[in-house]
Amino acid sequence: MSLLSLFLVAGLALFAYVSLIWLASLALRDASIIDIFWGLGFVLVGWLYFALSDGYAPRQWLLMTLVSIWGLRLSGYLLWRNWGQGEDFRYRQWRAAAGRQFWWRSFFQVFLLQGFLIWIISVPLLAAQSAPSPAGLTLLDGAGVLLWLAGFYFEAVGDWQLARFRANPANRGQVLSQGVWRYTRHPNYFGDACQWWGFYLIALAAGGWWSLFSPLLMTFLLRRVSGVTLLERSLKTSRPAYEAYIATTNAFFPGRPRKHAPPPAAHTGNQP
């Protein structure tokens, strides 16, 4: 099957995937369930490419092991975090603004859009799995795995540290500025981006240089659209004291805290 045919089949599968989730969201009156299925969408597409491609099998297994760990962990964490919390505030705002039209507008503006993004961003998974050569893992594959491991550490450890911090009533109203949160205000977003650059390096090892737009787009979305920018706009508005944390800690790329940082207990506010 040609690359174009594989890509189109994946697009049709994702259309069906997000359509079913949209129908479930109507019954539940909760459009934010799409966030839980974001990571699983990449796992679905990745295994579809695995089943229909004739690439180098060890690279296919390597890539899909990493993709599955990333996607299943992310979706499982979001399911656990959001369970019983109701619809996310972003979607509540969109629902209120759209009124009675939200039920159909959400299909195009939320579900179909996210399905399209999964389709486009998952291109390295196609590139890496459809190339039969080189018949052997390379240094680029190894570099991709190392970068993925670093990203997974920041994302998974960051989520775990924040969950523990928020579970302690004594931390209510404070900002976590220890652990990986000491070096970046959004270790989960940074880690997510690193993992996708790792996937790209594995695709590059298989000649998929043309899929470079995928990690670039993912990084842009995390930094400028649905990640850092959107979240911090809300935090700055609702929690002015969060500015103290902003002044001392890098937003995305990890770095040493600035020396004039106040002690953690002096901060107020909360991470998402």
Q: Which residues touch 196 (CB under 8 Å, ≥6 apart)?
A: 121, 124, 151, 214, 215, 218, 219
Per-residue pLDDT of the chain (272 residues), as tens digits, is 889 999 999 999 999 999 999 999 999 999 999 999 999 999 999 999 999 998 999 999 999 999 999 999 999 999 999 998 999 888 998 899 989 999 999 999 999 999 999 999 999 999 999 988 888 999 999 999 999 999 999 999 999 999 999 899 988 877 888 999 999 999 999 999 999 999 999 999 999 999 999 999 999 999 988 878 777 776 666 566 677 888 889 999 999 988 754 444 434 334 55
Which of 230, 234, 222 lies closest to 38, judged by CA?
222
The pair of structure tokens assigned to 109 is 């503006």
**What are the residue boundaries of the structural domains of the chain, listed by start?**
1-135, 138-272
The pair of structure tokens assigned to 71 is 């996607």
In 3-state terms, what secondary structure has residue 54?
Answer: coil
